[in-house]
Structure 1
Amino acid sequence: MTRIYIPATSAEQWAQFLAEPARQWRKGYSARTLAYSWQDADGFPDEVGAVLGLKFPAAEILLAFPEHQVPLPGGSRPSQNDIWVLARSQGKLISIAVEGKVSESFGPTIQEWQAQSNPGKTARLEFLQRLLELDAVPLSIRYQLLHRTASALIEAQRFNAQHALMLVHSFSQSHEGFQDYAAFAELMGGRASKEILNSAGSLSGTLLHIAWVQGNPASLSK
């Protein structure tokens, strides 16, 4: 995987990093909506900045990588973050894994993901449980929320960031998927709430947070 990155000058350039651009890069879908929301913002989108500001005053983006891949043990597929951000607030670094949503689900539950079990999946789940310090994971939890949170932690450790944040940036006007997020928040010891930065404690010396932020619907039409 290359370590050379070229800055984007427009949201349209984000499409090249998608697995299936023809299917995923469509008006009203999460990939395109998220790209326009973040590319058009001067820093963080206003709604994201407002939530971050509750814990991290004057947070600023240092680096932001669309479709950032984070390797995980077990299998060949990495965790592909819609956006990964390295941010700074009052001299402290924050690793932020962003998951954008409109009407899409968070994908399979652990039970569905394990339907065709193999040694790679077993190794990966064991790794995620160790990293997130979970004794067990309910079968109803969405697998994507586990590995997206792991991404935030792994990159925090790689960049020596004191904080890691898994942030769901949802543009769904009916809050689709929130109940799945809420179940995950409770599993991690946080609160099931919107527009709040929930603390999930310290994991291997990194302070973990999770958040659900409601996106500006204006980005849906771009």
Structure 2
Amino acid sequence: MQNDISIRKVHVPLLRPEDAIHHLGSPTHWQPGRSAKSVVDLWFAANALPSSVQAALSNDAVLRDCTLLDAFLERSVDLGDGQRPSQTDLMAIVRHESGLGVLAIEAKVDETFGPTVGEWLADPKGDLPTRTARLDRLCGMLGIDPSATASLRYQLIHRAASAIIEAKRYHAHDAVMLVQSFCPCRSWFDDFSAFATALGFPPPQVGTVSAPKVRDDVALRVGWVAEPNDGPHTRLGTARTVPKLTDLGRVQLSKSFFMRDMLYSEVAMIHGLNNAPDDPDLAIKAGKRLCEELLEPLQDHWGRIAIRSAYRSCEVNGFCNAMQRKKKAGYTCASNENNFAGHIWDRLDENGQMGAMACVVVPGFWAKRQEQGDWRILARWIHEHLPYSTLYFFPTYWAFNIGWHECPEKSIKSYAEPAGTFTP
């Protein structure tokens, strides 16, 4: 038997949808229009049973008025043989008038249900006797003949069994294996229909769950719900693996600066966020203009500059801004929209124009110029010599935001005294 502690039983709530990324089979699955992100976004926003699920359950005598107690994303379920567990996209625990129920949600866009049982058994990577024993056990639980399953999708078998196993673990009498489809074409519905029929259910109808059949002392239902899909979706180029992020960091933006110099963020580090661009090409294009036209000549004249904060992903900036609005100390980010073509290099602004910003310190200047208002010397030089768009100075080390933009504003403001707008 699988060691009892190998399936995690201690959980923390999601504070935002992106918290689910680290629990996915691969972080690269987090893409607009893909099932992993779609199901998380939908259930997180609802913080209850989504309306489509409620509607599908509305004709069930037991589950029609059930309410969500807890939902577990990427739920691993021990299938009882010490082998690889089944990982359900979302496992929901619900309460109804007479007790508890379990909903095992399998989210799909256009992904298949994986290999058929015949293909799974024939895979040379697996041990045939072990797999045959597992199949016999799962089929016994579901009340189907293992010899008649060769053309069925193996994933549907162990997902349905997972619903039963979890129901028994929670001492719940009712369970549903529900496909939540985000595909307008209902891809692979025929595979699901064949599976439902093999279990003895009538041909399934979209938007409903079947009448229950008792399987292994649990009243099991199967169903399919369809969600709207607002595609087509643009695939994100976000680096979510170490090799991809390493390659991104090696991109040279100018003679002195690399992309890696621009990605550091205390907020990202403390909160485990990904500070990598969704559109690397745009971020690199804007970053090169910032570095070549502003940072390099600034460094050539005043000596080495230190990057305090440069690129911010929408994920990082949005989180930081949310913390700022809650009055949390140390978070000083404007909204994402106000930072497009600013600290968020990989988004065009509302006028469709490109820009990039960095917060920098000039240590050599600070070492010699610490009298009140000395920051204006640096501001005046930049104004007279560089094609900047915006400058914003701060009291500590005379750090300042310096922004490049396709349509420069030529604006200088300061929190350092004398605070306000500075006109050279």
- TM-score range with shorter-chain normalisation? over 0.9
Task: Please tell me whether the aligned partners of residues 163 and 206 of structure 1 are also in contact (alpha carbons under 8 angstroms).
Answer: yes
Residue aligning to 2:68: 61
For 2:35, the aligned partner's letter is: S
Secondary structure of the residue that 1:49 maps to in structure 2? helix
Return the alpha-carbon distance in structure 2 between the equivalents of residues 19 and 54 of structure 1.
34
CA deviation vs aligned residue, 1:71-123 (integer Å, no higher than 9, x gap): 11346210000000110122321111100000000000011101135222111
For 1:38, the aligned partner's letter is: W
Verify: 1:72 aligned to 2:79, yes or no. yes
Task: Please tell me whether the aligned partners of residues 171 and 220 of structure 1 are also in contact (alpha carbons under 8 angstroms).
Answer: no
For 1:103, the aligned partner's letter is: D
Secondary structure of the residue that 2:68 maps to in structure 1? strand
Residue aligning to 1:129: 139
Secondary structure of the residue that 1:217 maps to in structure 2? coil
TM-score, normalized by length of structure 2? 0.50
Return the alpha-carbon distance in structure 2 between the equivalents of residues 143 and 129 of structure 1.
11
> How much does 1:58 deviate?
2.1
TM-score, normalized by length of structure 1? 0.94
CA deviation vs aligned residue, 1:116-144 (integer Å, no higher than 9, x gap): 35222111101111111112333110000
Cα 1:210–1:59 change in 2 (3 A) is same
Return the alpha-carbon distance in structure 2 between the equivalents of residues 143 and 2 of structure 1.
24
Relative contact order higher in (CA < 8 Å, ≥ 6 apart): 1
Name whichever of 172-181 and 87-96 sits farther off: 87-96
Identity, % of aligned pairs? 35
Alignment: residue pair count: 221
Instruction: Please give the residue correspondences for 1:42-191 in structure 2 after superposition, counting only pairs within 5 Å.
Output: 42-55=47-60, 56-74=63-81, 76-116=83-123, 117-136=127-146, 137-191=148-202
> Root-mean-square deviation (CA), in Å?
1.8
Larger radius of gyration: 2
Return the alpha-carbon distance in structure 2 between the equivalents of residues 163 and 118 of structure 1.
33
> How much does 1:57 deviate?
2.6
Verify: 1:197 aligned to 2:209, yes or no. yes
> How much does 1:3 deviate?
1.5
Verify: 1:30 aligned to 2:35, yes or no. yes
For 1:108, the aligned partner's letter is: P
Secondary structure of the residue that 1:210 maps to in structure 2? strand
Cα 1:218–1:58 change in 2 (3 A) is farther
Secondary structure of the residue that 2:64 maps to in structure 1? coil
Cα 1:220–1:155 change in 2 (3 A) is farther
Cα 1:81–1:106 change in 2 (3 A) is same
> How much does 1:215 deviate?
1.3
Secondary structure of the residue that 1:114 maps to in structure 2? helix
Task: Please tell me whether the aligned partners of residues 37 and 219 of structure 1 are also in contact (alpha carbons under 8 angstroms).
Answer: no
Return the alpha-carbon distance in structure 1 between the equivalents of residues 216 and 121 of structure 2.
27
Return the alpha-carbon distance in structure 2 between the equivalents of residues 214 and 123 of structure 1.
34
Secondary structure of the residue that 1:37 maps to in structure 2? helix
Secondary structure of the residue that 1:40 maps to in structure 2? helix
Task: Please tell me whether the aligned partners of residues 75 and 124 of structure 1 are also in contact (alpha carbons under 8 angstroms).
Answer: no
For 1:25, the aligned partner's letter is: W
> How much does 1:219 deviate?
9.0
Verify: 1:211 aligned to 2:219, yes or no. no
Return the alpha-carbon distance in structure 1 between the equivalents of residues 43 and 186 of structure 2.
20
For 2:214, the aligned partner's letter is: S
> How much does 1:207 deviate?
0.5
Cα 1:200–1:115 change in 2 (3 A) is farther
Return the alpha-carbon distance in structure 1 between the equivalents of residues 92 and 197 of structure 2.
24
Cα 1:158–1:6 change in 2 (3 A) is same
Residue aligning to 2:337: none
Cα 1:62–1:221 change in 2 (3 A) is farther
Return the alpha-carbon distance in structure 1 between the equivalents of residues 107 and 88 of structure 2.
9
Return the alpha-carbon distance in structure 1 between the equivalents of residues 212 and 199 of structure 2.
6
